[in-house]
Amino acid sequence: MASESATVRGKSRGRSRLLLPVGLSLSLFILLISLVASITYGAADISFDTVYAALTDFDGSTDHLIIRTVRLPRSLIAMLVGAALGVAGVLMQGLTRNPLASPGILGVNAGAAMAVVIAVFLFGSSSLSVYAWCAFGGAGVTAITVYLLGSLGRGGLTPLNLTIAGAALTALLSSLTTAILILSQQTLDEIRFWLAGSVAGRDFTLFLQVLPYIGIGLAIAFALGKQMTTLTLGDDVAKSLGQQTLWVKLTAAVSVVLLAGSAVAAAGPIGFIGLVVPHIVRFLVGVDYRWILPYSAIFGAILLLVADITARVLISPQELPVGVMTALVGAPFFIYLARFKVRR
């Protein structure tokens, strides 16, 4: 047993020296391909050369306009939102040490969504900065509530307690959201596509507006890599190694709220990216959060881009909300995890 774990450790060290950077650049390359594919495929048939020309040598033709004002911002936002959700999921799973944690399951998305619906209902506002701040508020309050509720249950923060608390809160929030939507059909019409989770019809200013929030969130997350790795050893060990666990947790929580909140503000509640990505990444990379975090960002971006392309192509010229796509793919994965990865 001892020798086995020694070889595992040796292998993972070898992995981290050589394979991990190579893998990172490889996945960056895949991300680039997905981005190009996302810009190229769509309802209007536009050749790759035209896409290239539109980006480098803009001439104002319809095709170029489509690329620049419709597809490019949409793809960039999908990329950004995917990265944010992936990293938020990793942080949540690391913080709660729970393989089922993710912004969607634990109700953080639902909280952000409800805050936005309330804002639209009360102020009729559709400006993104209002969306964003409401979404942050909603996400933050819900995250804290779920965490408290989950840790109050019997046996502390078990996956079951946390998941049930999240599910109950989601039920409550979505029923209240529905009640608001009933009172105002105008709000319903304005917001229903957004509620399903979609990156369609987003323009470039939106990208620029969410960029700083997600940028800060990602920066905080990446800076926490080493501390998060220590934290996975357990609170006691981390404390005895001299870590101020409370501060690490709080900072990570701020990052989660920034990332999940702005992702919801930009694209509506898109579930399951934050659940699936950490598992794939941990399977490939191991336990070192200094590598897990950047990998998760890239994988999240790839996953959402691919899901968005599929959502567009599957029933073209109509398109599905991408949130529905990710739920249909991600929920079976959740069930798989619940069956095989959760042990009591």
Partner 1 sequence: MRKSWLVIRPRLLPLSFRLERRVPTVLFVLVLVTLLAIVINVGQGEYPIPPLAVLKTIVGLPTANPDYAFIVNVLRLPRTLVAFGVGVGLAISGTILQGLTRNPLADPGIIGVNAGASLAAVSLIVLFPDVPLFALPLSAFAGALVVAILIYLLAWDKGSSPIRLILVGVGIAAILGALTNLMVTFGEINSVSQALVWLAGSVYGRGWQHVGALFPWLAVFLPLSLALSMQLNTLSLGEDLARGLGARVEWQRGLLLLMSAAMAGAAVAVAGTIGFVGLMAPHLGRQLVGPNHEGLMPTAALIGGLIIVLADWLARVLFAPIELPCGAITAAVGAPYFLYLLVRNRKR
Tell me how crowded residue 204 is: count the other CB atoms within 10 A of its CB.
15
**154 sits near partner 1 (criterion: CB under 8 A):** yes
CA atoms of 326 and 13, how far apart (whole Å): 34
What's the angle, vertex CA 207, arms to CA 202 and CA 208, rounded to 5? 140
How many chain residues bind partner 1 (CB under 8 A)?
50
* Crossing angle between the packed helical segments 72-96 and 273-285, to the nearest 10 degrees: 70
By CB under 8 A, name the one of 37, 160, 253, 280 that touches partner 1. 160
CA atoms of 199 and 78, how far apart (whole Å): 6
106: left (phi over 0), alpha (psi -120 to 50) or beta: alpha
Q: How far is the CB of 107 from partner 1 (least distance, A)?
A: 11
Q: How does DSSP classify residue 47? A: -
**169 sits near partner 1 (criterion: CB under 8 A):** yes
- Amino acid identity, position 139: A
Report, in angstroms and rounded to the nearest whole number, the Rg of the chain calculated over CA atoms. Answer: 20
Q: How does DSSP classify residue 242? A: T
Q: How does DSSP classify residue 196? A: T
Q: Answer yes or no: are the C-beta atoms of 140 and 125 closer than 8 Å.
A: no
**328 sits near partner 1 (criterion: CB under 8 A):** yes
Residues 129-133: contacts with CB under 8 Å, at least 24 apart: 129/209, 131/265, 132/209, 132/210, 132/213, 132/261, 132/262, 132/265, 132/266
CA atoms of 154 and 152, how far apart (whole Å): 7
By CB under 8 A, name the one of 159, 261, 286, 300 that touches partner 1. 159
Select 166 or 300, whichever has its Cβ closest to partner 1. Answer: 166
**17 sits near partner 1 (criterion: CB under 8 A):** no
* Residues of this chain, 181-220, that bind partner 1 according to CB under 8 A: 181-183, 185, 188-189, 192-193, 195-196
3-state helix, strand, coil in the chain (%, to 5): 80, 0, 20
Q: How far is the CB of 106 from partner 1 (least distance, A)?
A: 11
**339 sits near partner 1 (criterion: CB under 8 A):** yes
**144 sits near partner 1 (criterion: CB under 8 A):** no
- Which range of residues in 79-87, 247-255, 281-289, 332-340 is near partner 1 by CB under 8 A? 332-340
What track of x and - describes contact with partner 1 for positions 88 through 117 (by CB under 8 A)? ------------x---xx------------
* Residues of this chain, 266-325, that bind partner 1 according to CB under 8 A: 271-272, 318, 320-321, 323-324
- Which range of residues in 29-37, 40-48, 178-186, 233-241 is near partner 1 by CB under 8 A? 178-186
**342 sits near partner 1 (criterion: CB under 8 A):** yes
Q: How far is the CB of 191 from partner 1 (least distance, A)?
A: 11
By CB under 8 A, name the one of 7, 69, 126, 175 that touches partner 1. 175
What track of x and - describes contact with partner 1 for positions 25 through 54 (by CB under 8 A)? ------------------------------
* Burial class (CB within 10 angstroms; exposed 0-12, middle 13-18, buried 19+) of 184: middle
> Which residue ranges make up the site for partner 1 (CB under 8 A)?
100, 104-105, 149, 152-154, 159-161, 163-165, 167-169, 171-172, 175-176, 178-179, 181-183, 185, 188-189, 192-193, 195-196, 271-272, 318, 320-321, 323-324, 327-328, 330-332, 334-335, 338-339, 342, 344
